[in-house]
Amino acid sequence: EVLQEILARVVRDAGGAVPTAPRLTCVSRAFRDAVTGEPEMFWVDVDLSSGFCAPTDARIRSLIGRGAWASVRSLNLSGCSKLSDSTLKLLGTSCSKIENLTISGGNFTKDGLLQFANNLAIAGTGLKSIHIDLSAPKMTPSDALGVLQ
């Protein structure tokens, strides 16, 4: 509890969201428990694009099971080459408050992105912006446009 209070104070003093929340869960069990215990504080602006804690399907699914993604408003999946379409689909049902999404360089296919978008639509999110880097190896420009239509 002390660690959670300290982290909460740091977040408040920093002005809110911590884009590194997923990386903090890799530090230790105590950090993981503190960060996943307050999803509305730590899981608003999530940036998985870099760092020592590369996201994997298993790690993301574990955090989905804890409800960590319910408060996410901004999600950056750039360079998440270890994530599959099935995890992307699960994120679509778990990020019900998402407003901004960035995807580039991953292994996501057009079908995975379509299912993700459909799940977001079903959840009734207020998605305002989506950025897809067309250099992703499994996506062509026409695939990306198909997802956005």
Structure tokens that stand for 12 in this block: 């408040």
pLDDT in tens, the chain (149 residues): 677 777 777 766 655 555 667 777 778 888 778 777 777 777 788 888 766 567 888 988 888 887 878 888 888 888 888 888 898 888 888 888 888 988 877 778 878 888 888 888 777 777 788 887 766 556 566 665 665 55
Can you read off the two tokens belonging to residue 92?
């679509």
Q: What is the pTM of this model?
A: 0.73
